[in-house]
Amino acid sequence: MPTKTLKVALLQETDRGSSEANLDAIEAGLREAAAAGARLVLLQELHNGPYFCQHEHVGEFDRAESIPGPSTERIGRLAEELGLVVVASLFERRAAGLYHNTAVVFDRSRAIAGKYRKMHVPDDPAFYEKFYFTPGDLGFEPVSTSVGRLGVLVCWDQWYPEGARLMALAGADLLLYPTAIGWDPGDAQDEKDRQRDAWITVQRGHAVANGLPLLACNRTGFEPAPDGARGIQFWGSSFVAGPQGEFLARAKTDGRELLFADVDLGRSEDVRRIWPFLRDRRIDAYADLTRRYRD
């Protein structure tokens, strides 16, 4: 197949202390990415502020904003000015008492090309997202852009092969995961290593199983918990993988980084010809996947 190279950038950032400061950092990153020739930029999950889901407090809902809203206006204006496809991640206020964790896609325009509402919502120690986010209702639908059909999912979705598969079956050309994941500082180092390795491995598996490139952009840095608990050390490690799970680029564990990679979109066709997983799926035998568990 002919080579169709797409230069992508992932903006791995820390919380700068305010929404305005974070958006200023995003603007600087987008400008740098565009100057370097990137055409697609992926931002981290909930990039406008701290990861507030470490506790449950009704005051945190004040962080949410409408879509369209102030952040989409600013990021969309930059996407148009710089000629970029941008995948952003926001705390959406849909209505009073109805909020989502939402990824928004811009296609070289201030107009919103599409959005995805996080489907899998965790409720774990220090990740109390069910208190804040209503599970998504837009399904697993890729967003069509000038660089291809983007299968955008969000963080906890990355542990579920079903989401990646459904995006692939709907015609996604790439899988993208804005993410906020990290360590409990009290865990032993071997446990930390296992968690990070599992996070990387499962996503590389999605790339392999679907024959698609995959981009995962995580936040980095330590964020204290508002309730005095131990906080989270976000482990960075953003990466880009090819359709056989091969690393195309990897970011450091700790520290801000603008990560670049050249993705050959033509390789998906080549890989799917030698590994025809979609051909050999036994769709006649998968009915039990719709059951919670086989008792």
Percent of residues, the chain, with pLDDT higher than 90 = 97
In a domain, 222, yes or no: yes
pLDDT value at 282 more than 60: yes
Instruction: Count up the domains in the chain and report the number.
Output: 1
In a domain, 36, yes or no: yes
In a domain, 128, yes or no: yes
Mean pLDDT of 5-30: 98
Predicted model pTM: 0.96
In a domain, 224, yes or no: yes
Mean pLDDT of 26-48: 98
In a domain, 295, yes or no: no
What's the pLDDT at 227?
Answer: 83
Q: 57-80 pLDDT, tens per residue?
A: 999 999 999 999 999 999 999 999
What's the pLDDT at 1?
Answer: 45
What's the pLDDT at 3?
Answer: 61
In a domain, 90, yes or no: yes
Mean pLDDT of 81-107: 98
In a domain, 149, yes or no: yes
pLDDT value at 200 more than 50: yes
CATH classification at residue 145: 3.60.110.10
- Average pLDDT along the chain: 97
Q: 231-280 pLDDT, tens per residue?
A: 999 999 999 999 999 999 999 999 999 999 999 999 999 999 999 999 99
Mean pLDDT of 78-88: 98
Q: Model confidence at 228, in pLDDT bands (50, 70, 90)?
A: confident
What's the pLDDT at 229?
Answer: 80
Show the domain range for 197.
5-284
Q: 118-165 pLDDT, tens per residue?
A: 999 999 999 999 999 999 999 999 999 999 999 999 999 999 999 999
What's the pLDDT at 125?
Answer: 92
Task: Indicate which residues carry an active-site annotation.
Answer: 45, 118, 155
In a domain, 290, yes or no: no
How many angstroms separate the CA atoms of 218 and 44, rounded?
5
